[in-house]
Structure 1
Amino acid sequence: MTITFSIEQLDQVAKQILEKSPNKVLLFNGEMGAGKTTLIKKICENLGVNEPTSSPTFSLVNEYYTINNQYIYHFDCYRLKTEIEALDMGIDEYLYSGHWCFIEWAEKITNLIPEQHSVITIEVQSNGNRKLILE
């Protein structure tokens, strides 16, 4: 699936992503400032998270709970230096929990990603719009 959209259309884009039934381990690729965290926030809202969401840059993982009793784990691996650091925080337990796992900067932990995962790549266009590819 490929979509070009403006920031104002994020809610609609989040719904379209969920309608495609991606794997629950979902990697988000894109340069800094492309809108990965903002899109994850909209996906969380569409999954029924009522609490505030934010980037887990310093905590590495944020846990959210939906109104449908689901857990969502949001990872930001940007600060990780090695995959061992991810294992030390117990990332494998999260990734194989069966719950939603949204991962930014997954290229830092490529050997730990489950075989069954989906990838969202966001590119900033020259006009400020975003191009999203879901694989």
Structure 2
Amino acid sequence: MQNFEIILSENELEILAKKLPKEGVIILKGNLASGKTTLTKAIIHNLGIIANVSSPTFSVMQNYEDVFHYDIYQNGVDGLKKNGLFENFFEDGLHIVEWGDDELIALLNKFEIKCCVINIEIYEDKRKYKVSYA
């Protein structure tokens, strides 16, 4: 997979969702209110899953069929390990992690789990998505 950058409005997110992996790990990075959960909704809906997608801030993980949606803002990688959720990354399906960081990327790479990293930046009235593979 090739790295790329794209600028889109919220109603154009399906363009990006179609270019992303359908399985494996997607790590979303960005400031508060940058659109991580909004992008997650677009990815899940692009897979044909009809669900009321919300941020798993307090539950840490939500499951939508074969998609696992994590928010590690409050507890980081240690929280994933402590809650027994890190083992999920060895399972088939798509794993989307909001607030993923370099520590998580390094741990995934240690276990030879490749991931797609998306940095989201606010760009005028749109968002800039920098997509790379680690």
The gaps in structure 1 that reach 5 residues or longer are: 66-70
**C-alpha deviations, 1:57-90, integer Å up to 9, x for none?**
010000001xxxxx1100000111x533321211
Aligned residue in 2 for 1:95: 89
Aligned residue in 2 for 1:118: 116
CA-based RMSD of the aligned residues comes to 1.9
Return the alpha-carbon distance in structure 2 between the equivalents of residues 113 and 48 of structure 1.
30
Aligned residue in 2 for 1:45: 45
Aligned residue in 1 for 2:6: 3
Return the alpha-carbon distance in structure 1 between the equivalents of residues 35 and 120 of structure 2.
7
Aligned residue in 2 for 1:75: 70
TM-score for both structures, normalised by structure 1: 0.83
Return the alpha-carbon distance in structure 1 between the equivalents of residues 46 and 118 of structure 2.
17
Dislocated runs of 4+, deviation >4 Å? none
Q: Which has the higher strand share?
A: 2
The gaps in structure 2 that reach 5 residues or longer are: none
TM-score for both structures, normalised by structure 2: 0.83
